[in-house]
Structure 1
Amino acid sequence: MAHPFYPSGVPRMNHVAMTVPAELLAGEGRADLCRYFSEVLGFDELPTMTEDRKRLVLSCVHWDQFIFLMAGDPTMSCPAGDHYGFGVGSLQELVAARDRARAFAASDERMVLDDLRADDQGPVVIHSIYLTYLLPMRCELQWWEFVP
C-alpha cells in the first residue's frame, strides 16, 4: 500500500556523507578506500566527482546510491554503535560479502569484521555483518529471513 506522501513509491536512502581528513582522500588513502569498497562491497569510485584531498564519491552499485566522503575539520567521530546499512537479497549474498571481507582483512589488518550473527525477532531473523575500514562509521549488511 502506497503512503499518501509518496504515491509513486517508497522513498529510499540514497547516500551517506562523512567528513574525513583530507589525507584519506588523496594518494594511498584514496587507493585503499577504493580497493576496499570495490573488492568487498562491489562499490566503485565515481571519478568525475573525485577532487583530490577534497571529495570522494563511491557508487553503491547504482549511480543514485552513494557514499559521499568530504575533507573537513573537524572530522566526523561517532560511537561504535553508529553505522549505516544495506540490505542484501539472500543469505548467500551476505555470506559471500563476509567471505570477501575476511579475505580483505587477511591482507590489511585495519579491516575489522564483526562476523555473521542472527537476531531472532520472532517473525523475522535478521542476519548481519559489520565492516569497519578507515572511516569513522561502520557499515552493516543485513538479510532478513522471514519465518513462516
Structure 2
Amino acid sequence: MQQSRSETQQQLWGSWTTMSNQVYSNPKVTQLMNSRVGQYLSGHPVLALSILFFCAMAAVPVGLFLGFAVVTAIMSAVGFVFFEGFLLFVSAIALLCVLSGLAVFSVMVSSIFTVFYITASSLVNYYYYHRPQLAKGEDDQQKNQDETPTDKMK
C-alpha cells in the first residue's frame, strides 16, 4: 500500500510538473513572470494564491453584474420603443377626440348661424313684403277720407 501511494504521488507530481512547464513556456506567462509584479508574486506564493482565488471568486459576481447591465440596457431600449409607441397611440387618440369635438362644434355653430340667417332673412322679407302694402293701404285710407259720402255712393 505504501508503494502504490508513493507511485501515485510521483505520477501526480510528474503530471503537475509537465503542466506547469507548459504554462511557463507560454510567451505571455513568461512576459508576466519577467515583470516586477511576476517576480514579486513568485517570491510571495501565498499572496499570489490569494489573488488567484479572489479573481476566480469575483468572476461570477462580475459576470452576473455585467449580464444584468446588458439585459437592463436591452430592456430599457425595448421598453423605450414600446413606451414611445404607447405615447404616440395615446396622443393620436387625444388628437382624434379633439378633432371630433371641433367637427361637432363647427357643425353646431354653423347650424345656429344657419337658423339665425333663415330667421333674419324671413323677418326682413316679411317686413319688406308688408311695407308696400301698408303704405298702399294708408294711401287708400287717405283717399277714402278725401272722398265725400256722395262720391262713395256713386
Greater helix share, 1 or 2?
2
Considering only CA atoms, is the larger Rg found in Structure 1 or Structure 2? 2
Question: Which structure's relative contact order is higher, taking Cα pairs within 8 Å and 6+ residues apart?
Answer: 1
Bigger strand fraction? 1
- TM-score surpassing 0.5? no
The two structures have a TM-score, normalised by structure 1, of: 0.21
Q: TM-score, with normalisation over the residues of structure 2?
A: 0.20
